Structure 1
Amino acid sequence: MIASHIVALGASRGFPSLLTLVRTGLGEVTIIDDQMVEEENLGQTLYATTHLNRLKVDAAREMILERAPDTKVTTFPCRGEDVPNLLTLMAAADLVKIGIDAPRMMFTFADMAQAAGTAAVVHGMTGDGQQHFAALVYPGGPTLRDILPEAWNAVTAGYEPPTFFPSCALHTETMNAAVAMIIAGYLHHRAGSSVELMTGIGAGIVEAGLATGFYGYHEPSRFLTPIYFGQPD
C-alpha cells in the first residue's frame, strides 16, 4: 500500500474512503475537484463547519495530512476534464478512483483510465440516496458501459442527476467502507499480497466487476445492510 498511488476524481461523499486508505498505508494521492465546501456537505461527509467556503481539495489535503502526515498529496482545484495531463496522471497511478455526480463524465473518465492502462473504481449513490454502487474497470476488461448498461442508456437518453439529493452520514459511510475495502483488496490482489483476506476481496471484485449495497432491511437476504458482488437480480 505504501508504494501505491491513487488518482481521485471527486472529493465529496466518497472522500472518507480515500481517508481510510491513507490511514491504512496508502502512500500517495492526487485529488481533483473544483467545488467548495457548502452547508449541504455537512452531515453527509467528513467536512466540518471550519471547512465551509474552502476548496474541497484544500480541506481534504489538510485532513489527510493531519491523520497520515507522510502521505504525498497533490491537488488540482479544477474539474477532471480541465487537468491538462490527466491521461498521463492516470497512466502513472496504480488506480483511479472516480466519485463524481456527473454521470456522462463518470463513463468518460472510466474509458480514459482503461485507455491509460490503469484500473478504476467508479462509485456513487442513487438519486434518492438509498443505494450505492462500486464498479471496477481494468485494462482489457469490460467497460463501465458493459457493467452498468441501464445507467449508460439513461445517460445517452439525456439523464441528468438532481442538483441536490439528501443523504446522511450513515448512508455515505456505508458506501465508503465498501469502496475502501474494494480498493484495498484490489491493490493487495494486484501486488500479490500475502494478506489472504484482502487478496480474496480483490479477486472477488475483479471477477464480478460490480458491488451493490442496500440500506434498511433487505427482504431477500434478511440482512440490514448487505453488500454483494455481481450483477443484481
Structure 2
Amino acid sequence: MAWSWWNRASTGSAPRTWRAEGIPGALARHAGVPGFDQARLSAAHVLCVGAGGLIGHVAPALARKGVGALTIIDDDDVEPSNLNRQFFHAADVGRNKAEALAGRLLPICTAATRITAVPAAFEAAARGLVVGRADVAVVGVDNDAARLAASRFFRAATTPVVFCAVSADADHGYVLVQAPDGPCPACLMPDVSAGTRPCPGTPAVIDILQAIGALATYAIDACLMARATSWNYRRFSLNRPAEDGAAAIPRRPACPNCGADLEHYQIA
C-alpha cells in the first residue's frame, strides 16, 4: 500500500480516497459479542463530520473494528494545541485535519477499509454533493450551526446520525442519536439555535473525549446492528456521577430545526 501523498500539501477541497489492507484473523475476537455483526459493519459506510477530539476517538475505533468505509469531513488544519487530545502527531501540524486523520488511520485498520478525506466545511461538502450516502453519520464538531446543518441534511437523507459533544469545563458530555424520524439536537436543547454551546478555544482534555467517544462508537454499532440499547440520549460526567443518565427522548413537535426547509439539500 503506497502512502506517497503523506508529505504533500493539501490539494484543496477535492476528496481523496485510500484503501487499507486487511489483516487475516484480526477481528476474530468480535465473534460471540452479543448483537455484534461483523459482516454488517464490514459492509457499512460511516460518515464523520469533524476530525478533532471526538472523531479522533470514534474513527480509530471504527478502523480497528473493521468498518467498510469511512468518510471524514473537516476544513480545519492541525495546530499544536490539538496534540494533547486529538489523533495527530507533531508532523501533522499545518495539514488539513481530514487528510491527516486519514493518514493516521490507515496503519491501524484491520480490514480493507476505504477511507475518504474531504478537506471542506460540512455544509459546503453537502451542497456540492460530495457527501453521498452513508449508513450512519457521526457529528463531533464544536459549533451549533454545523450541528443543525448536519441534522437537517441527514434528516432529508433518512440517515441515522450520532451527535456527540463535551462541556466547556471538560467534565461532562452527551451522545444523541437522531433516527430518521427521531429527535434532533434542538429537540433536546431548544436554545441550541441561538448558538450558545461551546466553540473553538474552550478548555479541552483527553479523558472526557475518550469517554464520550466510546459511547458514540457504541451508538453507531446500535444503528447498524442488534447491539442492545434502550436510549437515544446518554449523558456522562467524570466528577458528578449523579448527573449520569440515559433516556429515550421524543421528538419535540414545535422544534424549528425539525421543521426547517430541506428542499435546498440534494442527496447524492
TM-score range, shorter chain: 0.7 to 0.9
Q: Cα distance, 1:65 vs. partner?
A: 0.8
2:247 to 220, 230, 233: 230
Match in the other structure for 1:172: 209
Query: Would you say 1:32 and 2:60 are equivalent positions?
Result: no
Percent sequence identity is 22
1:100 to 116, 119, 141: 141
Structure 1 outlier segments of 4+, above 3 Å? 84-90, 160-163
Query: Would you say 1:44 and 2:53 are equivalent positions?
Result: no
SS at 1:112 equivalent: helix
Given that 2:140 and 2:165 are in contact with CA atoms closer than 8 Å, whether structure 1 keeps it comes out as yes
Given that 1:21 and 1:184 are in contact with CA atoms closer than 8 Å, whether structure 2 keeps it comes out as no
Q: Deviations over 1:56-96 (max 9, x none)?
A: 11111111111116210111101011115566735x21001
Q: Cα distance, 1:154 vs. partner?
A: 4.5
Match in the other structure for 2:237: 214
Given that 2:236 and 2:245 are in contact with CA atoms closer than 8 Å, whether structure 1 keeps it comes out as yes
SS at 1:58 equivalent: helix
Q: Mark the structure with the bigger radius of gyration.
A: 2
Given that 2:186 and 2:192 are in contact with CA atoms closer than 8 Å, whether structure 1 keeps it comes out as no
1:181 to 204, 213, 218: 218
Match in the other structure for 1:137: 178
In structure 1, C-alpha distance between the alignment counterparts of 2:223 and 2:198, rounded to whole Å = 29
2:193 to 150, 155, 158: 155
Given that 2:136 and 2:223 are in contact with CA atoms closer than 8 Å, whether structure 1 keeps it comes out as no
Given that 2:186 and 2:193 are in contact with CA atoms closer than 8 Å, whether structure 1 keeps it comes out as no
SS at 2:173 equivalent: strand
More helix by share: 1
**Whose RCO is larger (CA < 8 A, sep 6+)?**
2
Given that 1:30 and 1:74 are in contact with CA atoms closer than 8 Å, whether structure 2 keeps it comes out as yes
Per the alignment, do residues 2 and 127 of structure 1 end up closer, same or farther by CA in structure 2, a change over 3 Å counting? same
Given that 1:88 and 1:116 are in contact with CA atoms closer than 8 Å, whether structure 2 keeps it comes out as no
Q: Cα distance, 1:22 vs. partner?
A: 1.6
Given that 1:120 and 1:137 are in contact with CA atoms closer than 8 Å, whether structure 2 keeps it comes out as yes
Per the alignment, do residues 88 and 117 of structure 1 end up closer, same or farther by CA in structure 2, a change over 3 Å counting? farther
In structure 1, C-alpha distance between the alignment counterparts of 2:117 and 2:137, rounded to whole Å = 14
Number of aligned positions between the proteins: 207
Q: CA RMSD in A?
A: 2.2
Per the alignment, do residues 104 and 78 of structure 1 end up closer, same or farther by CA in structure 2, a change over 3 Å counting? same
Give the TM-score taking structure 1 as reference length: 0.81
SS at 1:200 equivalent: coil
Per the alignment, do residues 127 and 86 of structure 1 end up closer, same or farther by CA in structure 2, a change over 3 Å counting? farther
Q: Cα distance, 1:153 vs. partner?
A: 1.3
